[in-house]
Amino acid sequence: MNLKFITSILWTILIIISSLISAKTVNKFSFFNIPYSDKIIHFIFYFILFLLWYNYTISIKYNYIHIQKRVILLLLVILFGILMELLQLSLTQTRTFEFSDIIINVIGSTTAFILFFPVYQSKIFGRFF
């Protein structure tokens, strides 16, 4: 199996688990008392989620234009974030649905969407992907 695919799957599973575990367990991992740290974590999770899946998809040959692949992936990542919030609402008793989390997820994945393509095409950083 492709290492990029496995990494993307593992990161996705990490988000699913961390989104659905109890709030008490999540609070045990609060190392810092930083305001809005949960929003920072959401941003980072979905930024990396888009990067990993995009890095995997560019290694696969598709018949449609590169930008379409990026937009489709962005929409899928955003839908995944919405699904995770809805699952928190319906499957857990200690986690809550927060619209602001969806907004931060969208900002994180959109930032990766905007930044990754120029970085990928650059001569300096492109060789790492």
Whether 29 is in a domain gets the answer no
Which tokens is 67 given?
Answer: 């930008």
What is the pLDDT, as a whole number, of residue 74? 94
Whether 28 is in a domain gets the answer no
Residue-wise pLDDT tens digits, 1-33: 689 899 999 999 999 998 888 766 655 555 566
Give me the number of domains the chain comprises. 1
Statement: residue 44 has pLDDT above 60? yes
Per-residue HEC secondary structure of 40-101 comes to HHHHHHHHHHHHHHHHHHCCCCCCCCHHHHHHHHHHHHHHHHHHHHHHHHHHCCCCCCCHHH
Statement: residue 57 has pLDDT above 90? no
Whether 81 is in a domain gets the answer yes
Which tokens is 32 given?
Answer: 């810092």
Whether 68 is in a domain gets the answer yes
Residue-wise pLDDT tens digits, 59-116: 776 655 567 778 899 999 999 999 999 999 898 888 888 999 999 999 999 999 988 7
Whether 80 is in a domain gets the answer yes
Whether 31 is in a domain gets the answer no
Which tokens is 77 given?
Answer: 């990542």
